[in-house]
Structure 1
């Protein structure tokens, strides 16, 4: 079996032989399967190329061995970190080496010299955690700092907002351990002229490399000086200026930003900088984005800030339209565009004095309407969220066509930035690219933007190509750079000749020939680049399949495909801490188990391209396996900057995949749990005895697809609905002003009715009269999560009939279980977008905390609990409902709550009980939740409203978690 690369000068590869050799000789995960190749076919750019294979080495040595094996088979190689590149440099028809899973070590730290040595897969934030004890950090901080790898930062010469103070990555790299495709392995860095001559005189492979580099330097010296712009943010092209040092050359600097086209970086020695203990920030308002740019030189004349960032009015508009970071926008001063200027110092006084000097120099005051200041770190971070929302807010704006990168990081000198922006805006208008949302690193003249290129039609692609050519000529006319941060890749490689001229581009080719004469390192990027309009992820020939779906996707034009297209590759789902998304990635460190990886596979499943590795559509086992470890936690719904809803996509896929087919046993045993629970009402004791009898329990778990490590929850001796009927208290009527309906969800009703009783007492104490449905009702959650959405829809419609009098009267319905509440607040609308009863229930369904804080009598006060508490927020509540009402209620009740930022508990409904999921389920819990619970004192309450969360806590710790209603009853 062979694979064609489709690249000039690169032969077809015998993949069967390559796979055999890689598998037998490389210690790591060697993958030639369709799922892995599909997940790595794109990065965060407009481009798509299906790789030959993916290798995940267990060590740096194994990675080096993989390159050696690839050379023996003449196979191209692509090193990849976090895969967040926007220029297409992280996608190729090659063997992808993913360093991020295992090669993430800090080899050494020298606090005195302020240096460290790292492996290429270490994530930026994890490196800074490792060196924080020394009061140090790595300076340049990209917006993807939670998940970008240092190897990728070196490959792209990454920057970020902090480059204002610390420079680009190239300014912070001391030396690199490199491996060429031909096998030369060595450390490289700066060498003086005398040492350079000595290395050349010594001969050998290294001497020949240095001799040829010296020759390039000597022949192109004047052209380099003439054509390399003297601006802070020149990232395009190879760093040939590193060959023009006052004394010798710096090969490490030359290789930074070469995008994997020259060598493989095995380790890196980095400079570190002291952390800044105190900060202050001022935000300045302007009439428009160009006026903000005009002000930048004056600001820089008065100070040397940590950051100098810009947000344009259109970006703010998109943030408002999508209800992102409303609190952040509320903190901004008067204006239509803004500059964020942050200062740092060893003391707060030092930081504040710099801010005061700037305002004085600008003849501004803290009382001016267009000025907002802060020296509170939390407030500053809240302000900056408007800037950090840039990529997410502009990716899928609601009232604008799809927007794309392609000219998203050009840079000029700050002194001409205002004029450049006016000409750039005029160019947008000429090409009909409406409403550009500009933002960026204005202190260094770097502009960020996504543009509504029409990349689905031939004329649209042609216009895109013409635009970037004109834009390249424009930025060059201002002495700027095609790229000020993201690099060239395929997006700008073809345009380099317009910036540097033919001679310098020829010099690039000669440098490429020195390190990679066979053109096997990330071929087709930077040197001999593929056209800017080739290999597009969409393109005029893109024809995805269109099928009838179970969900309505009202937020995506009723299109499943458009929902999947929400993922633009930002990669926040690969972060290592904070928020809920993505628990399975955190447990496995696998691209295929990230939200992005799954979205990529669903994209490939739509078969819009003839070379798609996923050829069996909805029946794809590769897609099924990737989605199998999705917990359906919905964390991506809220935490993904573009609102990807993988839980819904998973339910849709399962519904399509198993349509008219036998399902896994767990879909029947766990998916039909509400029906089985109704059947157990007659003899709960007998059912419990059977479920916990050693022999029967194990047999039942085996037949039901349930993991043997989990104990089945015990049915209560009587359901809450039965207890309610026996209570014999007159219920309110629909329309009564103080009436509420208590929703008897399956979990509370059948397993923990004491929580419902506590909820009733709290509601009655607050002045409500409670009604409870007499007939069985269900939200359909377990059927939705197992993809039995037709059944779920029928269950919901039956529920509507039971609740109809209350729905027509507008009576609030109070939920105790967050996952059920989330169905009514989100899934139900997607499943039944045109059902009027669904609309009514959506608006009437409330959490206990919401009804108590929003509908209780003004003079009602919650009981005083006066206790400390550790709180696990249910992932569906985090993603769909929000937790503000709970926080308010707990504060009023005297509960000093530590709300854990621990992600999903790992049970997630049926997930944690299904066979094959136990290890991942527990890894999710051990990430933060269970260690935090185990650390709590006995006097500290453990609160968790979710049945799944309480189940996991009791399974993995000696503590029993309480529902908020139970805690309030103790007050």
Structure 2
């Protein structure tokens, strides 16, 4: 009842989105840490004033408040039984920039990369850069006192904050910053709550001044504890910097004035190889003596081993020199010569040369970024190692003086061995003595949790003995709050409590974190009491020990799915800005659905409407399968969920219309012109779309009057021997067969030119894609078994099968083997299936060369190809064909199979498309090719108001075989049945009769297929 009353008042007084539903609460139940607490509700304020009003309403009810940015915290700061304020959707503006003073004012939800993008015109940036820079917010960085690799040159966030606008729980709102004595006296003289705060802080620092000066380790990466040292007289009694790193336990930040730094015009990097990570750490002080690097990072052999086992970032590792561990040292300068000179001077001081096998030098920015990507991948690569040992946070960012780093690592390794945690990798910001690791804690048994807790206390004593910090980057939260007395002693921790009591006497601001903290083993996301359900599943999850539960636990909260550009993941989040519609948010809800905790807000298991609603806007693009650092495959999880959710129940109309599209496409052969006419007839089409669950805004793609298989049979081609090494099976997918047969015909032309003997199955075959994407998995298996029977001769002969539609190819390469893991023919077919480009690059005779097109091309890669098959072979084929290809990195097209056609999805589909793909196509040079192998991509481009028609790579090559196409030649029409379109006003009765007859026949076939 209290929650309902609170929600009512928040809705009445706050300009924003107020959510107390189970889905929102489940999506925000945890961050990137080991901890989980279900929030009371979530508020997404429209502006910072609304955020301040949210705090005021919560204060009236006496409920806790948690201010949250990107939610990537690793110590439990961003999970609490509180009202969560998510600033990232609306409060994300760059308020102002002062170029001369090199400062800016930002709102708390602004993402770091977006800030630096907007500052790039001024050649300025915010200095600290965590590895989460693509999605971490400035408010979160201020709360955590974030650092990143660039802190070597620019310091921590606290070193770059000038002023903060804050609001306290009791409503005091003001700007704070450095406070000269004169200003201090003015504030005190003005009276009121602000005066009380300043007087109280002055009293606390005066009483504890000696302890602060002696008790804070003098190291570059001390992030633990409150920044009481910023209140020292010699630090200017800087209240803003004292609040940085307080993790939302003292105030809520509304705006921040930040110091900026110039973007280095030139950079150079050297990578040094070592026999062991401890030996590399020993060399850090010597490197720092002979230069002033912009960053000094480390990667150990264990991390490199995991990259190789996971086939991740191999292009980065290939650039590294000989060694089992590496230090990456980057310098900047006003000229390239100045930056290069620093590298040469360092190598000379070390007695090394550029061509030594354990040295790699680069002054190419792209090459350097490629090297650094391996280091930034640390968390994702080490989170789910192939050996099956799950690794966790807890002791992931300790820091010591850099000159003592090597010895600390040796003792830390000994501690790992004592507890059986030898599999942990060691890497991090070694130039500042900060060590990152993920440890294989056992967090599902009582003994494992007890060992976890015991280890943390032993590790805290170890780092303290080296004059170090519990946290060198990620803060204290719940993970290290209980350990602070080991580092600071009782007196200083008491002083932290006095500061907390001054700002938040009732302990309502993110309670239980840093001060009066929960125990390190409370509120665990797993724990000895975690009891998830273990239902039978349709997919086999081979990389997760055949466990759907373990697959769901892949998400460790890194949050790359909340990025706004580059890659494919996650299109629905990019369009909505909603945590619930990110890959991470959906993973959290699926975790809650497992029912492992009694307080889970998701109570209906597979029948959960909250999970269904979150998955409804998942495009099944599979971008997360490749772009998520831990390989979450939400498309598969969605298909699994839909299979259980609708078991024995009536499904949405779109599942019958588009889910059974291959069947309806076959039925269209009865009268394709009449079907097209019916689909185009205004009144009938409108009613038909309504009944089929199709968006009214969508134009139905027209069926070809002659399908590819019909053309092939009429051609009367000789059926080649499956055992002939020149034989290749051209897969007649639904889209290339019934909608765009010109693509398949073009592919035949090119394959025969390359010396292949083409075979085409003339009996109906299908990959089952549409049934899989709609969760009709039992039917998909039946379809696949029939397909295997038809393909049996070619499967037994090992004949290559080439797919033209990327989504269909991806089914055989990924989905089908996971859906039917024990069927050997599925496994064989998966190995035999090729993309069009893979076949021509890897299997065509060496003497064959593709036609030279000598033309520019804008290329949209299908999401499933990006995720499963990759695009390397296509790039090479484009190069050999002389195409100057601009392969877009603009994300998903937004149509994504049936998604963009479904009712209520059209607006989101077009929003996604307008965020990248459609503007890029509109900007494509006149006369250039627009290439898109995916039917969805071509349809979206055609229907998206670009004025362009995309073609398949096979069509482009076939045009080249006809002779060099004129530069101004428009894209070739793709079998648009103009006559049928002109006949759209055929007598409605004829259309109804034709479609009605088809529906009756279809229903009969549907019933037959189901049985």
Q: Which residue of 2 aligns with 1:163?
A: 151
- Structure 1 residue 310: Cα displacement: 0.2
- Structure 1 residue 401: Cα displacement: 1.1
Counterpart Cα distance in 1 of 2:773 and 2:388: 32
Counterpart Cα distance in 2 of 1:428 and 1:406: 13
Q: Deviations over 1:340-375 (max 9, x none)?
A: 000111211010000011001111111211111111
Counterpart Cα distance in 1 of 2:935 and 2:607: 33
Q: Deviations over 1:602-629 (max 9, x none)?
A: 0000010000000000000000000000
Counterpart Cα distance in 2 of 1:916 and 1:314: 48
- Structure 1 residue 329: Cα displacement: 1.1
2:406 to 407, 418, 422: 418
Counterpart Cα distance in 1 of 2:651 and 2:618: 17
Q: Deviations over 1:895-921 (max 9, x none)?
A: 000000011111100000000100110
Does the 8 Å CA contact 2:229/2:235 hold for their aligned counterparts?
Answer: no
Q: Which residue of 2 aligns with 1:911?
A: 899
- Structure 1 residue 400: Cα displacement: 4.4
1:475 to 450, 456, 463: 463
Q: Deviations over 1:766-788 (max 9, x none)?
A: 00010000101000000000000
Q: Which residue of 1 aligns with 2:958?
A: 969
Q: Which residue of 2 aligns with 1:653?
A: 641
Equivalences for residues 320-469 of structure 1 within 5 A: 320-469=308-457
Q: Is 1:732 matched up with 2:720? A: yes
Does the 8 Å CA contact 1:192/1:247 hold for their aligned counterparts?
Answer: no
- Structure 1 residue 435: Cα displacement: 1.7
Counterpart Cα distance in 2 of 1:813 and 1:861: 21
- Structure 1 residue 65: Cα displacement: 0.7
Does the 8 Å CA contact 2:27/2:589 hold for their aligned counterparts?
Answer: yes
Q: Deviations over 1:909-961 (max 9, x none)?
A: 00000001001100111011000111113201100000000000000111000
TM-score of the pair, normalised by structure 2: 0.94
Counterpart Cα distance in 2 of 1:194 and 1:938: 66
Counterpart Cα distance in 1 of 2:235 and 2:824: 77
Q: Which residue of 1 aligns with 2:577?
A: 589
- Structure 1 residue 80: Cα displacement: 0.2
Q: Which residue of 1 aligns with 2:1005?
A: none
Determine helix, strand or coil for the equivalent of 1:83: coil
Q: Deviations over 1:452-481 (max 9, x none)?
A: 000000000000000000000000000000
Determine helix, strand or coil for the equivalent of 2:283: helix
Determine helix, strand or coil for the equivalent of 1:191: coil
Equivalences for residues 198-347 of structure 1 within 5 A: 198-246=186-234, 248-347=236-335
- Structure 1 residue 66: Cα displacement: 0.6
Counterpart Cα distance in 2 of 1:247 and 1:940: 60
Determine helix, strand or coil for the equivalent of 1:878: helix
Q: Deviations over 1:826-864 (max 9, x none)?
A: 001110111111011100000110110011111100011
Q: Which residue of 2 aligns with 1:5?
A: none
Aligned length: 959
Q: Which residue of 2 aligns with 1:944?
A: 932
- Structure 1 residue 652: Cα displacement: 0.2
Q: Is 1:628 matched up with 2:616? A: yes
Q: Which residue of 2 aligns with 1:779?
A: 767
Determine helix, strand or coil for the equivalent of 1:533: coil
Counterpart Cα distance in 1 of 2:241 and 2:879: 54
Deviates more, 1:120-129 or 1:364-373: 364-373
Does the 8 Å CA contact 1:411/1:480 hold for their aligned counterparts?
Answer: yes
Counterpart Cα distance in 2 of 1:778 and 1:946: 16
Counterpart Cα distance in 2 of 1:613 and 1:255: 33
Determine helix, strand or coil for the equivalent of 1:856: coil
Determine helix, strand or coil for the equivalent of 2:43: strand
Counterpart Cα distance in 2 of 1:671 and 1:924: 23
Q: Which residue of 2 aligns with 1:692?
A: 680
- Structure 1 residue 313: Cα displacement: 0.7
Q: Is 1:114 matched up with 2:102? A: yes
Determine helix, strand or coil for the equivalent of 2:174: strand
TM-score of the pair, normalised by structure 1: 0.98
Extract structure 1 runs of 4+ deviating beyond 6 A: none
Q: Which residue of 2 aligns with 1:529?
A: 517
Determine helix, strand or coil for the equivalent of 2:802: strand
Counterpart Cα distance in 1 of 2:378 and 2:37: 27
Counterpart Cα distance in 1 of 2:510 and 2:406: 36
Q: Which residue of 1 aligns with 2:799?
A: 811
Equivalences for residues 849-860 of structure 1 within 5 A: 849-860=837-848
- Structure 1 residue 194: Cα displacement: 3.1
2:734 to 739, 746, 752: 746
Q: Deviations over 1:690-719 (max 9, x none)?
A: 111111100000000000000111010111
Equivalences for residues 607-686 of structure 1 within 5 A: 607-686=595-674
Deviates more, 1:677-686 or 1:157-166: 677-686
Counterpart Cα distance in 2 of 1:717 and 1:462: 70
Q: Which residue of 1 aligns with 2:86?
A: 98
Does the 8 Å CA contact 1:193/1:247 hold for their aligned counterparts?
Answer: no
- Structure 1 residue 158: Cα displacement: 0.2
2:790 to 769, 790, 802: 802
Q: Which residue of 2 aligns with 1:829?
A: 817
Counterpart Cα distance in 1 of 2:906 and 2:639: 20
Counterpart Cα distance in 2 of 1:431 and 1:28: 48
Structure 2, unaligned runs of 5 or more: 961-1011
Q: Which residue of 2 aligns with 1:47?
A: 35
Determine helix, strand or coil for the equivalent of 1:356: helix
Determine helix, strand or coil for the equivalent of 1:344: strand
Determine helix, strand or coil for the equivalent of 1:249: coil
Q: Deviations over 1:405-455 (max 9, x none)?
A: 000000000000000000000000011112211100000000000000000
Closer, same or farther in 2 for the Cα pair 1:799/1:400, shift >3 Å?
A: closer
Give me the CA root mean square deviation.
0.7
Does the 8 Å CA contact 1:196/1:248 hold for their aligned counterparts?
Answer: no
Structure 1, unaligned runs of 5 or more: 2-13
Does the 8 Å CA contact 1:319/1:389 hold for their aligned counterparts?
Answer: no
- Structure 1 residue 198: Cα displacement: 3.2
Determine helix, strand or coil for the equivalent of 1:501: helix
- Structure 1 residue 385: Cα displacement: 2.1
Determine helix, strand or coil for the equivalent of 1:262: coil
Q: Which residue of 2 aligns with 1:84?
A: 72
Determine helix, strand or coil for the equivalent of 2:834: strand
Counterpart Cα distance in 1 of 2:216 and 2:925: 62
Determine helix, strand or coil for the equivalent of 1:230: coil
Does the 8 Å CA contact 2:413/2:422 hold for their aligned counterparts?
Answer: no
2:484 to 496, 514, 520: 496
Determine helix, strand or coil for the equivalent of 1:868: strand
Q: Which residue of 2 aligns with 1:143?
A: 131
Q: Which residue of 1 aligns with 2:910?
A: 922
Q: Deviations over 1:847-889 (max 9, x none)?
A: 1101100111111000111110000000000000010111000
Counterpart Cα distance in 2 of 1:581 and 1:16: 35
Determine helix, strand or coil for the equivalent of 1:484: coil
Q: Which residue of 2 aligns with 1:4?
A: none
- Structure 1 residue 107: Cα displacement: 0.6
Closer, same or farther in 2 for the Cα pair 1:400/1:158, shift >3 Å?
A: same
Counterpart Cα distance in 1 of 2:322 and 2:675: 66
Counterpart Cα distance in 1 of 2:233 and 2:876: 61
Q: Deviations over 1:794-852 (max 9, x none)?
A: 10010000000000000000100000000000001110111111011100000110110
Counterpart Cα distance in 2 of 1:885 and 1:875: 16
1:20 to 8, 12, 21: 8
- Structure 1 residue 233: Cα displacement: 0.2
Equivalences for residues 812-891 of structure 1 within 5 A: 812-891=800-879
- Structure 1 residue 247: Cα displacement: 6.3
Does the 8 Å CA contact 1:748/1:755 hold for their aligned counterparts?
Answer: yes
Does the 8 Å CA contact 1:670/1:910 hold for their aligned counterparts?
Answer: yes
Q: Which residue of 1 aligns with 2:1000?
A: none
Deviates more, 1:241-250 or 1:70-79: 241-250
